Amino acid sequence: MSSGIAGGIADMLGRKNLTKGVKVDIKDKDATIDLYIIVEYGCKIPEVAWEIQEKVKKSVETMTGLDVEKVNIHIQGVNIEKEPKKETAGKEVEQQNMK
């Protein structure tokens, strides 16, 4: 049963490998969920973690009827964009030309 819940959570987060980064521990009617995520550079990590915790808790409790005791967020890394977006690169060129 826990792999189904983990798969559902991973699917909700848009993961291709449905159980990668999700661990669910169920005891009786209580669940503890561990999510291992990578965040985008510049995001406010506490806000992102809080939003994920709230949404996952609400979704799992609604879909399964389980009581979610904890949703633990583990930040595994920060994704830094290798190439600047076209829009950003254009502004940088404009600023350099104005000097």
CA distance 14 to 54: 17
CATH 3.90.226 fits 2-98, yes or no: no
Please give the pLDDT value at position 1. Answer: 42
29 vs 6, higher pLDDT: 29
DSSP per position, 7-36 = HHHHHHTT-SSTTTTEEEEEETTEEEEEEE
The predicted-structure confidence for 18-57, as pLDDT tens digits, reads as follows 557 899 999 999 999 999 998 999 999 999 999 999 999 9
Residue 5: CB partners within 8 Å, gap ≥ 6?
24, 26, 31, 33, 60, 64, 66
* Banded model confidence at residue 81, pLDDT cuts 50, 70, 90: confident
The pTM of the full predicted model, rounded to 2 decimals, is 0.64
Residues 61 and 67 sit within 8 Å (Cβ to Cβ): yes
Element (H, E) at 72: strand 67-79
Domains of the chain: which residue ranges?
A: 2-98
